[in-house]
Amino acid sequence: MKAHDGMYIDGAWRPAASGETIDVVNPVDEQVIDRVPAGTAADVDTAVRAARAALPGWAATPPAERAARLAALRDVLVTRKDEIAETVTAELGSPLAFSQAVHAGVPIAVAGSYAELAATHAFEEKVGNSTVYQEPIGVVGAITPWNYPLHQIVAKVAPALAAGCTVVLKPAEDTPLTAQLFAEAVDEAGIPAGVFNLVTGLGPIAGQALAEHPGVDLVSFTGSTAVGRRIGATAGAAVKKVALELGGKSANVILPSADLAKAVNVGVANVMSNSGQTCSAWTRMLVHRDQYDEAVELAATAAAKYGARIGPVVNAKQQARVRSYIEKGVAEGARLVAGGLESPSPQGYFISPTVFADVTPDMTIAQEEIFGPVLSILRYDDEDDAVRIANGTVYGLAGAVWAGEEAEAVAFARRLETGQVDINGGRFNPRAPFGGYKQSGVGRELGAHGLSEYLQTKSLQF
């Protein structure tokens, strides 16, 4: 994939308003691999106007035709699967096999699910003497992070297009090449000009301009709590709908009846995957005190096997941030049983897969999102204690429960203040609603629930 030196606006690659550029860096070797234009408020304005102009036509397009365009988009993504994986690997640093299976594979599944949902969703229903129409909210401003660069884009753009909305996307500055590739795919899929627009650029400049633009009807943001809070405040002041996905500190609760080795090994793999840069990662493992020492040993052994194979974190700033959390863990008295500050590679933004034991619920590493390959193992006395610890953070995005019997795990999961729980290692479902309780965010993505975020209702009475 060769970088474009323009913005994809109104169906064509157009020159950016300013000559500023952003360097794209490969986190494995720290080399600059490409440059993309740094968009400004002027580019955002052009893009929003294009999206607004395209809105009436796309909103009036029959859902079956929108579905056909989304199916075409999915097919282009399938055709370009290898290129997607290589691009994500180049700018995010994730191992190629993971990029193929997850970074390319999941967005294809999600795009396919919205091709189907657009065709089958009831955009109209009868309620007594009324007909209720579900209509697109309008122009969507989508702001996405780098951790799952294509998935985060598709999880917003596909439902928005299925709903009949038009979109302006501001992707993360670290992963703009994947976003440009997506724009090429949209173009190839025959989605009409102006329905999807891309402005690459920096968050505080292009991102902020998009979030504040009066021509945007809904802002959908995924990223840090600090930025999300600001975007929520801006949207609130403008009486604009907002969707926020802000990360988590999810608990992996291993009940005494569970298969301990399996639960620990899957739990460690979950945290190390994507170098720990997953908002729903189970970064707190909760183990009964009688099984605690055995679990710690199993986890330390499992983590040590990963080494540099997990890939680096995305950039130098994230590397420094994750290291500072490791230092804080040690300083607050947690016991390092795997990994630590030493990098497994002389070059690149690597962090050693790290496991802390003797972590108590009040420690910083048990409360804050680290966003790196760092696992904290906590001890609980009984089930009530486990529920209290699991629910004892400001977040509530995801979690896991392991037990001998599914029913026992389900009963426990129902007590968790969180949006998703995997039971005994349940598989990822691209149609299940994804989103947070508490400060993990507002709104849901994926599946039918994700589609309804982009719809508003109109009732006609007869």
Contact status: 247 vs ligand NAP (CB under 6 A):
yes
Q: For residue 392, give the H/E element and its range.
A: none
Q: Is the Cβ–Cβ distance between 380 and 387 less than 8 Å?
A: no
Residues that bind ligand NAP (rule: CB under 6 A) add up to a total of 28
Confirm whether 245 is a catalytic residue.
Answer: yes
Q: Which two tokens stand for residue 9?
A: 């606006």
94 contacts ligand NAP (rule: CB under 6 A):
no
Site for Mg ion in 200-219 (CB under 5 A): 203
Residue count, binding to Mg ion (CB under 5 A)? 1
Q: Which residue has the tokens 């760092």?
A: 374
Residue 84 has which token pair? 């997607």
Identity of the residue, 164 or 373, whose beta carbon is nearer to ligand NAP in the bound complex = 373
Q: Does 173 bind ligand NAP (CB under 6 A)?
A: yes
Distance CA 254, CA 380 (A): 10
Residue 291 or 352 with smaller CB distance to ligand NAP:
352
Among 173, 279, 408, 445, the active-site one is 279
The token duo for 155 is 């999880």
Site for ligand NAP in 202-221 (CB under 6 A): 202-204, 207-208, 211
Pairing of strands 399-402, 251-254: parallel
List of residues 6+ apart from 256 with CB closer than 8 A: 288, 290, 291
Please, which residue, 147 or 439, has the CB nearer to ligand NAP? 147
Of 203 and 433, CB closest to Mg ion? 203
438 binds, among ligand NAP, Mg ion, none (CB under 5 to 8 A by kind): none
- 80: exposed, middle or buried (C-beta count within 10 Å: 0-12, 13-18, 19+)? buried
Enclosing H/E stretch for 210: helix 208-212
Give the residue from 142, 48, 50, 150 showing the smallest Cα distance to 90.
150
User: CB under 5 to 8 A by kind: which of Mg ion, ligand NAP, none does 143 bind?
Assistant: ligand NAP
455 residue type, one letter? L
Q: How many CB atoms are located within 10 Å of the residue 97 CB?
A: 10
Residue 165 falls in the annotated catalytic set: no
Cβ 115 to ligand NAP shortest distance, Å: 24
* The entry of ligand NAP, Mg ion, none that residue 147 binds, CB within 5 to 8 Å by partner kind: ligand NAP
From 150, 279, 386, 455, residue interacting with ligand NAP (rule: CB under 6 A): 279
CB of 171 to ligand NAP, least distance (A): 6
Give the integer Cα–Cα distance in Å for 378 and 288: 9
For the CA atoms of 172, 243, 455, 215, what is the dihedral angle to 10 degrees?
-60
8-state DSSP, 19: -
Please report whether residue 245 would count as binding ligand NAP according to CB under 6 A.
Answer: yes
Is 24 a binder of ligand NAP (CB under 6 A)?
no
Options 86, 173, 212, 245, the catalytic residue = 245
Q: Between 176 and 267, whose beta carbon lies closer to ligand NAP?
A: 176
Strands 130-136, 124-127: pairing kind:
antiparallel
Look up residue 91 and give its two tokens. Answer: 């700018």
274 near ligand NAP (CB under 6 A) = no
Residue with nearest beta carbon to Mg ion: 203
> Taking a C-beta distance cutoff of 8 angstroms, is the pair 96, 102 a contact?
no
Contact between 393 and ligand NAP per CB under 6 A: no
Question: Does 147 sit near ligand NAP (CB under 6 A)?
Answer: yes
Q: Which one of ligand NAP, Mg ion, none is in contact with 204 (Cβ closer than 5 to 8 A by kind)?
A: ligand NAP
Among 87, 94, 166, 222, binds ligand NAP (CB under 6 A): 222
Asked if 406 contacts 210 with a C-beta cutoff of 8 angstroms, the reply is no
Q: Is 319 in the site for ligand NAP (CB under 6 A)?
A: no
161 binding partner (options Mg ion, ligand NAP, none; Cβ < 5 to 8 Å by kind): none
In the chain, how many H helices and how many E strands?
A: 16, 20
By the rule CB under 6 A, 10 interacts with ligand NAP:
no
Residue window 41-60: x/- pattern of binding to ligand NAP, with contact defined by CB under 6 A: --------------------
359 binds, among Mg ion, ligand NAP, none (CB under 5 to 8 A by kind): none
9 phi and psi angles, rounded to 5 deg: -130, 135
Segment interacting with ligand NAP (CB under 6 A) among 100-108, 242-250, 354-362, 409-417: 242-250
Give the other-Cβ count within 10 Å of 64's Cβ. 10
Q: How far is the CB of 156 from ligand NAP (least distance, A)?
A: 12
Residues 363-382 that bind ligand NAP (CB under 6 A): 369, 371
Residues from 328 through 357 that contact ligand NAP (CB under 6 A)? none
DSSP 310: G
Relative to beta strand 374-380, strand 284-288 is parallel
The secondary structure element, H or E, covering residue 20 is none
* CB neighbour list of residue 270: distance below 8 Å, 6 or more residues apart: 252, 278, 281, 282, 400
Q: Are 242 and 265 in contact (CB under 8 A)?
A: no
Q: Which residues are catalytic?
A: 245, 279
- Residues in contact with ligand NAP by CB under 6 A are 143-145, 147, 170, 172-174, 202-204, 207-208, 211, 222-224, 227, 230-231, 245-247, 279, 318, 321, 369, 371
- Residues in contact with Mg ion by CB under 5 A are 203
